[in-house]
Structure 1
């Protein structure tokens, strides 16, 4: 446990962290994970899915439907995570069904999960520091583990599992993350960094050894890559994703 927490604290990339974390959770019987985080929640929306941080070792066939087709928006445990903080056993799904509080869409998600072997597990909803941010992780147990077996395991090891996932979540928030289609070039990143430092267009052109028109082109392309309207929004989004002032090997 202590050794693993030291690893998390010193991890330098999301890829390295996620590979080790999935191995560690599998040691406890949770062989399929989905981690999700957004900084762009507002009202009933979680924001643009392309801005989510999504990490998973679930099968592609499952993720193509659950995330790609938007099933997550009707998942009962996602609803629970948005309304609560802490850890929750999936035995709550049986209680919801008996109380007849699942919508038709939620029942379809439950049926899809059952079909795909996602039947027992735990969900952890992380504490938020902003009304617009939310993170959670779904820990799916091996198909041969019943929910009763998972609950018994959690009674013995739940505090440690919860702690490791909390630390992993906090570490992920410090690491650079790029979504497909949201990738910045080195020049775009550099231009945004100078804007973040308060430099004028003329200053940036001089510092980068470019013309003002070329700097504006890099900033325009950065705005397009990040799908925002203003350079200030681009600076904020790049900073949120830890894509600015990053250390390169």
Structure 2
């Protein structure tokens, strides 16, 4: 596949590591990009910045703002401020607010916090959140200039969205590359959430049409490898896991086995 963007090590693959540890692991495993999750953004930001300087790995995203009906919280603002200070490309955001207009307002408020930085809001639709369709995510993103939609192959599949439907270049900043087993969880949000957080499989080892998914993306967008798997965590060290996932993703992108 031509014109594919760089790979990123998502934080979910190596949850036992500290944020700066994720950056160092990404470098050792051959990823040019990484994503991080913080437990204390302001305290952890300096060591992450140091890891970025030392390794040359750039931050693709910071996770995760979970928007609720009460709008932005101080914790949301702290995370956004940290993402901006670290020059992360995106702030991964999901909504648990069933009111789309209110969600749009919260996304706009979050974008305002990030104004003047390189960081953009990336809204991820999932079947077990309030934004549970591609169309809804696109409406919200188009209503807030600079906001993008974050396509995840597993979530699109579980929302019954076609993986090979083309994406507009102005609405996608990056995408999440993953795979899924054959099991289906129709209409059961708890099971879908459990699958996404514990039962993903490496790219190319499941049932998803990843060739179609990647071909439908705008050329050159980064691909965050996102495989939260209890099985992989039990069988491999974080570094071995990261190397395995980089090789699996690369094989998918080159058409290898």
When normalised by structure 1's length, the TM-score is 0.27
User: Which has a greater percent of helix?
Assistant: 1
When normalised by structure 2's length, the TM-score is 0.27
